[in-house]
Every structure is written in C-alpha cells, then in structure tokens.
Chains A and B, each alone.
Chain A
C-alpha cells in the first residue's frame, strides 16, 4: 500500500475537518430544536412498552425476545433522525450554500453521517438501559460487547440511511421513500446485530460473537466506502 503523501494527507484532514464542521452544525440545530431526538426517544420507549405488554413471558423468554425488540426499535427510531438529516438543508435551499462552498461532497456526506451516528448513539444510550429495565436483563456484565455491537451496527445503518436520505429528500414522498429504499439494506446489519445480541444476552461466551462482529465490521467498511463514493452522484445534476 502506498504511504500517504503530504498532499493526500492534507486532503484527508481537510475532508475530516469539514465533515466535523458540518456534523457540529447539524448537532447544534438538533440541540436547539430537539424535535427529531425527542421523537426518536419517545418512539423507542413506546415501542418497548408495546412489545412488553404484547409479550407472554411463559412462551418466550426475555433473552429471546429482547434482541429483536431492540433492533426493530433502533431501526425505526433511527429513520426519524435520518429523514431530518437532509430535511434541514432543504429549508430555504441551505443545501445550495453547502454545495457551492469549496467543501468536497464526500465531506458533506461524512459530516451528515457523523451527526446521524451521534444521534442514533444518543437514542441507543437511552433505549438500551430502558430495555434492560423493562425485560429485567443483566446487561452490566456484557456492557462492553453490547456497546461494540451497537456502535458497529449503528455505523452501517447510518451510512446507508444517510445516503438514501439524500436521495429521498428531493422527492415528494420522502417520508415513504426513505424506509422503502433503506430497509432492505438494513436487513443484513440488523440480522447480524440481533444474532450477536441474542448470543450475548443468553450468556454465551463473548468469543462466540466474534464472527458476527467481523461481519458487522465488513458491512461497515463496505457501506461507508460505497455510500461516501456514491453520495456525490446524488447531488450532481
């Protein structure tokens, strides 16, 4: 592999700096309005409550049910934030200001994705303890691996979701189109994350989830790279 030359390194740092500027701007806007975050948290908690009351503990154990509940909730609550990601750019055509700036398209995508990752992470930080509380799950001993699964899965979901959010935002049916486009791509990530979580919660040794973690990592690498490269085509012409 070729070492990074000074020019390439400068380009990488420029992209990352611009991405952080954009992410920080998006998070500032979300912090001021809190509309998407509260919606996502309320959705996640309501989902937990509904599943809890629909659950028959004599038929299915908590450790069998919880992983599915957790990842269904993350998937759909995450979509709320992802939809808003490019929505804020459409009000009074702020996206034109962003695209007319010297910032690369890749930096815009990465900035949006970083903000979305922090958004999804914040929802997870509330939803996972809530899940443990509702289903009386002993997550303390597996917190580390569970956080690793959550982060790896979130990266994949956010990469795909951010790309499709950019594609859907200019359409009249954006709210409908985003889940229709993104959900099929979410499936492999959610399966891997749910399987790894199930093994973890059922007390299997951490080494047994290694294969699922590697799979999630592979999805992340492929999706982040592919989506970053594909994003410029969604905004050119």
Chain B
C-alpha cells in the first residue's frame, strides 16, 4: 500500500515527501511513503522494529540517499548536501557523543560544525534548557545514560533546526528528563519547528503530535491528523502492526 498524506492548506511545508523509497539490496526498507509537514507540526511515527521508521528519518537527515521518489526538507531537495543538513536536528537513542569530552565540549564542537557565530552563548542556552549546566564540564563517560541523552538533545538543538528528527528520544530519560524533552519539543513546535518523532510510547507520541502514522514494512498503514486521533484505536492498529511483523 502506498501512503499518500497531506497536512493540507499549509503554505510552506518544511517536509514534503513523495513516493519516497529506500532499498537495501532486495529489501525495501521504505516503500513509497508520501506526506508533508508544515512549520510547527509534529508527526508521531509508530511501528514495529524493522518497519522502516529509522531509515525514513536517516533519509530525511541526509545520512542515506533515497532510492526513488522525492523529498524536500526546508525547501531543499534531497539529497541536498550541506544546506539541507544544516536545517535538520537529529536525535537518536544513540547519543552520538564523544565520551572522553565534556557536555560543553561536545555541544560546542557541534555548534562550530554548524557555523554558529555566538557558539559560547548558544551552547550555554542549550545546556541550560536540558538542565545540564551543572555537569557541563564533566566527561560524558561519567554521566548517567539519561544525562547523556539530555546532552545529546542539547547538541541536536544548538543550531535551532527547522526540522527535528527524533528517533526514540525518550530512551534512557527519567521522568524529569522526559518532561524536559516534552516541554522542549512543545516549545520548538510553538516557534515553528517541524518535528518527526519515532517512539514506541503511544501516549508520549500522541501528546506531542499534530499528526500520527503507523508504519509497517516500509509503508504507512495508518495516518491521522491530530483532531481525529483516537488513542484507543491507535493502540489497536499499533498492536496489529506488531503482531503482523512477528
């Protein structure tokens, strides 16, 4: 099934994906996905392991090239090189941090890679938002998994991306960290950042989302706008997708 979804009526979509496919040899990890997302909108993406969620995010992050179809991020056609990548923030369950460096050094390194001029202030702001200023100079390896994840989020946000791709971002976070992340994502939405969040936690995903989709075998098997999202029926679809993937 090819999924064709539009948020409709949005003047300038941040993400426009049309019949996007990504193959690994004979395996179609993403198989003809179509959707668009405007500034300030959030798509919560659910699905069993191996459904193609992470691959879709990696294509949008510029880490993988699409096999066919098209994708535009913040007005840039993918693969759009440095320009497209500069507009995206990537959060993953992998922290993508250097354990020998401190949170401040990790986030500063990222800020400089993105060419941020007032890097010092932006790094401070980013770490403060994730309540990591007090441990900003401790080596990453000495921090708990949850603290590392907070630093990873600070790293991904330091350049104020127009699109945030969050692949299981709640992984390893305690209640306080989860609240801080949810608040941050909501704040980002309110400032016009588009978000695609992959999570196995329906409640977390739906609380943020303006749109939600269930993915299986590379395709959207269900898609809804927020006003019509029914958490109960979503849970059923999600369980069905999980069962079908076993």
Contact of A102 among B64, B86, B94, B95 (CB under 8 A): B86
Cα separation A133 to B143 with both chains bound (whole Å): 45
- CB contacts under 8 Å to B, within A81-118, are 88, 91-94, 96-104
Contact of A25 among B63, B65, B92, B101 (CB under 8 A): B101
Selecting from B11-19, B108-116, B185-193, the interface stretch reads B108-116
A33 on interface, CB distance cutoff 8 Å? yes
Q: A29-B101, A32-B100, A33-B100 are in contact. Are A97 and B112 (CB under 8 A)?
A: no
- Which residues of B are interface residues toward A (Cβ below 8 A)? 61-65, 81-83, 85-86, 88, 90, 92, 94-101, 105, 109-110, 112-115, 139, 148, 155
11 contacts between A and B (CB under 8 A): A25-B105, A29-B100, A88-B100, A93-B92, A93-B94, A93-B96, A96-B63, A96-B96, A99-B62, A102-B83, A237-B65
Q: What interface size band does chain A fall in?
A: 20 to 34
Residues of the A chain whose Cβ atoms lie less than 8 Å from the Cβ of B85: 100-102
On whether the beta carbons of A101 and B95 are closer than 8 Å, the reply is no
Majority SS at the chain A contact face = helix
Residues of the A chain whose Cβ atoms lie less than 8 Å from the Cβ of B113: 18, 21, 98, 101-103
Q: A25-B109, A102-B82 are in contact. Are A92 and B99 (CB under 8 A)?
A: yes
Residues of the B chain whose Cβ atoms lie less than 8 Å from the Cβ of A28: 100-101, 105
Residues of the B chain whose Cβ atoms lie less than 8 Å from the Cβ of A103: 82, 113
On whether the beta carbons of A100 and B100 are closer than 8 Å, the reply is no
Residues of the B chain whose Cβ atoms lie less than 8 Å from the Cβ of A94: 96-98
Could you mark each residue 1-35 of chain A with 1 if its beta carbon is under 8 Å from any beta carbon of chain B, else 0? 00000000000000000100100010011001100
Given contacts A29-B100, A100-B62, A102-B115, 10 further A-B contacts (CB under 8 A): A32-B101, A88-B100, A92-B99, A94-B98, A96-B90, A96-B92, A98-B113, A100-B85, A103-B113, A236-B65
Contact of B110 among A97, A236, A237 (CB under 8 A): A97
Contact of A21 among B99, B100, B101, B109 (CB under 8 A): B109
Cα separation A104 to B62 with both chains bound (whole Å): 12
Q: Nearest residue in B to A89 (C-beta to C-beta)? A: B98
